[in-house]
Every structure is written in C-alpha cells, then in structure tokens.
Amino acid sequence: MARIVESDWRIIERILAPSAPIEKHGIVINEGFRFCAFGKTKSGKTSLMRAVVYSAIAMGYARIALVHDTKGIFPEYPHSVMLPNVAAFRRRGMQGGDIPVYSFRGDPRHDVQCTAEEVAALAKELGQKGTGDGGLWLPYPTVTVIEELAEASTASGKNLKAPAVGWLAAQGRKVGNSLVATTQRPKKAAEDVITQASASSFGRLEPADINYLAERMDLPGAMVDAIRGPDGDGLPMHRFVLRTDDGPWDGIVHCLDKSTAQMFE
C-alpha cells in the first residue's frame, strides 16, 4: 500500500483506535470501531471511509471488509472483489490473492437484490463463529461498510429495518466486528447506529441536517459552528470535522490530502 501522509494517518488512527488489539486475561481482543460519515453527495465521505477501511485491513485490525454498496452505477470500492449478493460470496468463497474487501452490489439487470441486512448478517455470522475451528473461540474481526445508512433504516428514519446492522452497532464490539456507515440523509439514518458511533465525521451539510445532528448527538456549540462553515451554509467540499468519543473536540476543520482521497479510487 502506498504511504498515507502523516497528518491523514493521525486522523485515521483516531478513528481506528477502538479496534487496536488489546490483551486481556491472556487473549488478544479488539473491540472494533463504529464510524459514521455525514455529508452531502460528493462531499468526501467515501474517500475518508475508504482510507479508514483499507487502513484497518492493512493494520490487521480487521481481516475482511464487507461493503454494502448498491447506490450507484460505479462502485465506491473499485479495488475490491465485486459480488451481487451474499449467496454469490458463499458459492465463490474467499480465494488466495483476493484483496480481502468484498463489495455487495446487487445486480439490477438480473433482478438480484442485496440488502444491507444480508451483508450485516454475514458479518455477524463470521464474528460469532470466530476462527476457533470448534476449539477455543478466537476473534475474526471484520469491518462492515454500509454506503447509505438511510437504506437500512425505516422510512421514518428513526429505527433500523435491519436487525443485524443493529446487532453490529450494539453488540459487534464483543466479537471484534466494526461497522462504518455513510449517509447523505442524516434525518433518515437510524439513531441506533448514529448514537453508538465511536467516531463521526461531519462534512458539508444542509443547515437543517446540522441542527438535527447537533441535537441528536449533543454536539458542543463550537463544533456546531465549525460544521456550519464560514458562511453558515455548510463546510466547503472535502472539509470535515471529526468527533471521537475518547476525548474533547480537537477544534480543527480537517481535509484529507488529495493523495489519500484518491489512493483507493
């Protein structure tokens, strides 16, 4: 993997922090991270998320990434194994030489649907099974990527219609499963996932969405002002503010280096 510039690596490291392995009672565990990226279309959500996901794999914090990406004509993870659904993954299996990043894209031309729920259910299954081969259970950390969280939520946006996604958000840490999600529609994205996040990024957003997130997530005033941007109508494209649950806000409006944003395109 090409080297990520130092300043970007520091951001990614903070997001990944809960998934760094720790030793407890003689076994090595990792709690996984839960990361939400909010922002309008083309604001840079996927670019940040991709750098985080590939870094998690490169660091060994996750063994495999499962990406639910049925959004567009072009895949969000071009450097991944593209599959229509989980059934195709089971038929094919993991093969030597695979980048361990699997995109589940559905296949509209053949009426093959793929829900976020089935991808999350696969991650849950892998996490629960671990690597023990019937003996001692050892973690098999995964990272599940939900490219549009609103699609896994009920129409009102208050809850999840995808119980396995909810399980990953609430229980996944117990088996080392990480969950990351992006959304253009914060009001339509399930609160269970948003409120369980260990890290969240806020890119360019509509004022109404900013107010909604500020209230739901109880964001500090100075941070909300930063997210409103210099003219009050949102941050410029590719800029974001980062919240992590392990410390106070750093007071910085971040922007990834172009090389990082484009590294995995």
| 255 makes contact with ligand ATP (CB under 6 A) | yes
| 46 makes contact with ligand ATP (CB under 6 A) | yes
Task: Identify the three-state secondary structure at position 9.
Answer: helix
Closest approach of Cβ 119 to Mg ion, in Å? 16
| 85 makes contact with Mg ion (CB under 5 A) | no
Write the DSSP assignment of 181-203 as a string of letters: EEES-GGGS-HHHHHH-SEEEE-
211 contact choice in Mg ion, ligand ATP, none (CB below 5 to 8 Å, kind-dependent): none
| 256 makes contact with ligand ATP (CB under 6 A) | yes
Site residues for Mg ion, window 33-52 (CB under 5 A)?
46
CA distance 34 to 109: 33
CA distance 58 to 78: 17
Amino acid at 138: L
Are 249 and 222 within 8 A, CB to CB?
yes
DSSP-assigned letter for residue 3:
P
Residue 158, token pair as written in the block: 């208050």
CA distance 137 to 128: 9
Choose between 46 and 115: whose C-beta lies nearer to Mg ion.
Answer: 46
Q: Nearest residue to Mg ion, using CB?
A: 46
Element containing residue 78 per DSSP (H, E):
none
| 200 makes contact with ligand ATP (CB under 6 A) | no
| 186 makes contact with ligand ATP (CB under 6 A) | no
| 254 makes contact with ligand ATP (CB under 6 A) | no
Closest approach of Cβ 76 to Mg ion, in Å? 5
Choose between 126 and 263: whose C-beta lies nearer to Mg ion.
Answer: 263
CA distance 56 to 51: 9
Phi, psi of 230 (to 5 degrees): -60, -35
Choose between 159 and 262: whose C-beta lies nearer to ligand ATP.
Answer: 262
Closest approach of Cβ 264 to ligand ATP, in Å? 10
Are 151 and 195 within 8 A, CB to CB?
no
> Who contacts 27 (Cβ-Cβ below 8 Å, separation ≥6)?
138
CA distance 209 to 202: 10
| 39 makes contact with ligand ATP (CB under 6 A) | yes
Site residues for ligand ATP, window 219-248 (CB under 6 A)?
238
Choose between 7 and 131: whose C-beta lies nearer to ligand ATP.
Answer: 7
CA distance 42 to 63: 29
105 contact choice in Mg ion, ligand ATP, none (CB below 5 to 8 Å, kind-dependent): none
Choose between 117 and 147: whose C-beta lies nearer to Mg ion.
Answer: 147
| 184 makes contact with Mg ion (CB under 5 A) | no
Interaction site with Mg ion (CB under 5 A): 46
- By the criterion CB under 6 A, which residues form the site for ligand ATP? 39, 41-47, 184, 238, 255-256, 258, 261-262, 265
